[in-house]
Amino acid sequence: SCQQTYRQMCPPDQPPHTSLVTSALDNTTNIQEAVALFRTYLDGLKDIIECSPCLRMDYNILIGNWIPKYLTECSQNDANRLLDTLQVLTSRVQKQPLEHTKFQSSVWQYLSPYVKLKISEEGPLQLVDVSLSLCQLSYTHSDTLKDIIQLFLNNNSTNIGLVRRFLWLLIQQNDLMALLENVPSGSAEPLTVLIVKGWIRCSLLSVDSKNSELSRITNYVAYLPFIADICMDLPSSNDPLVHFIVTTSNKFKAAKDIMERGSLRQRMSRYLTGMDKWVEPFIKQGKSPEIVARIYHIVGLIVSLMPSFVYVKSRPNTVLKGLLDVMFLPLSAYKPDFEPSSHIKAVIAANIHLYIKGLADLGMMHDAYIDRCTEDLVRIYLPWVSGSSRCSLHECVEREDRSARLLLTAICSAFIKRKVSSPHPHCSQALRFLCLIAKRNSKEHRVMSQLVDTCFEHVCDVIMFCDDFHPCKNIAKEVLVSIFESSSFGDEVSEKIIEK
Domain closes at, from 357, 383, 415: 415
In a shared domain, residues 442 and 397: no
Burial category of 396 from C-beta neighbours within 10 Å (exposed 0-12, middle 13-18, buried 19 and up): buried
pLDDT on residue 5:
44
In a shared domain, residues 411 and 426: no
Question: Of 260, 364, 384, 374, which is closest to residue 324 (Cα–Cα)?
Answer: 374
Residue 184 lies in a domain: no
Tell me: pLDDT of 250 over 80. Answer: yes
Question: Average pLDDT for residues 100-128, to the nearest whole number?
Answer: 86
Question: Of 69, 74, 68, 76, which is closest to residue 39 (Cα–Cα)?
Answer: 74
Residue 224 lies in a domain: no
pLDDT on residue 277:
93
Which range of residues forms the domain containing residue 439? 422-500
SS3 22: helix
pLDDT on residue 15:
43
In a shared domain, residues 435 and 393: no
pLDDT on residue 9:
43
Percentage of the chain exceeding pLDDT 90: 40
- Note whether 176 and 138 are within 8 A (CB): yes
pLDDT on residue 72:
83
Residue 391 lies in a domain: yes
Question: Average pLDDT for residues 345-374, to the nearest whole number?
Answer: 89
In a shared domain, residues 13 and 129: yes
Q: Where are the alpha helices (DSSP H) in 313-392?
A: 319-327, 342-362, 368-385
Q: Where are the alpha helices (DSSP H) in 17-138?
A: 18-26, 31-51, 66-73, 76-94, 101-118, 126-135
Domain closes at, from 360, 380, 415: 415
Measured CA to CA, the distance from residue 276 to residue 204 in angstroms comes to 12
Residue 215 lies in a domain: no
Tell me: pLDDT of 336 over 70. Answer: yes
Interhelix angle for 143-153 vs 101-118, to 10°? Answer: 20
Q: Calculate the average pLDDT of the chain.
A: 84
Percentage of the chain exceeding pLDDT 70: 85
- Note whether 111 and 63 are within 8 A (CB): no
In a shared domain, residues 293 and 343: yes
Tens-digit pLDDT profile for residues 298-332: 999 999 999 999 998 888 789 999 999 999 999 99
Tens-digit pLDDT profile for residues 120-172: 877 788 999 999 998 888 766 678 888 898 889 888 888 899 999 999 999 99
Question: Average pLDDT for residues 282-296, to the nearest whole number?
Answer: 90
Tell me: pLDDT of 81 over 80. Answer: yes
Burial category of 441 from C-beta neighbours within 10 Å (exposed 0-12, middle 13-18, buried 19 and up): buried
Measured CA to CA, the distance from residue 245 to residue 355 in angstroms comes to 15
Number of domains in the chain: 3
pLDDT on residue 477:
93
pLDDT, greater one: 9 or 114: 114
Most confident by average pLDDT, 177-186, 392-401, 405-414: 405-414
Tell me: pLDDT of 112 over 70. Answer: yes
- Note whether 343 and 292 are within 8 A (CB): yes
Residue 197 lies in a domain: no
Question: Average pLDDT for residues 478-496, to the nearest whole number?
Answer: 73
Tell me: pLDDT of 499 over 80. Answer: no
Phi, psi of 8 (to 5 degrees): -70, -40
Tens-digit pLDDT profile for residues 23-59: 655 555 666 767 777 777 777 777 777 776 565 545 5
In a shared domain, residues 338 and 396: yes
pLDDT on residue 4:
45
In a shared domain, residues 120 and 53: yes
- Note whether 191 and 181 are within 8 A (CB): yes
pLDDT, greater one: 248 or 74: 248
Tens-digit pLDDT profile for residues 458-484: 999 999 998 888 899 999 999 999 888
Question: Average pLDDT for residues 186-214, to the nearest whole number?
Answer: 86
Residue 142 lies in a domain: no
Compute, in degrees rounded to 10, the torsion defined by CA atoms 211, 213, 215, 216.
160
In a shared domain, residues 367 and 439: no
Measured CA to CA, the distance from residue 494 to residue 492 in angstroms comes to 5
Tell me: pLDDT of 7 over 90. Answer: no
Question: Of 237, 223, 247, 377, which is closest to residue 306 (Cα–Cα)?
Answer: 247
CB proximity list for 281: less than 8 A, separation 6 or greater: 120, 156, 158
pLDDT on residue 141:
67
In a shared domain, residues 373 and 450: no
In a shared domain, residues 410 and 331: yes
CB proximity list for 295: less than 8 A, separation 6 or greater: 204, 205, 279, 282, 283, 327
Tens-digit pLDDT profile for residues 65-78: 778 888 888 888 98
Measured CA to CA, the distance from residue 219 to residue 212 in angstroms comes to 11
pLDDT on residue 397:
86
In a shared domain, residues 327 and 439: no
- The predicted model scores a pTM of 0.87
Domain closes at, from 377, 392, 415: 415
Which letter does DSSP use for residue 184 in this model? P
pLDDT on residue 489:
63
In a shared domain, residues 15 and 117: yes
Question: Average pLDDT for residues 201-213, to the nearest whole number?
Answer: 89
Kindly report the CA angle at 498 between 452 and 456, in degrees rounded to 5? 25
Residue 27 lies in a domain: yes
Residue 40 lies in a domain: yes
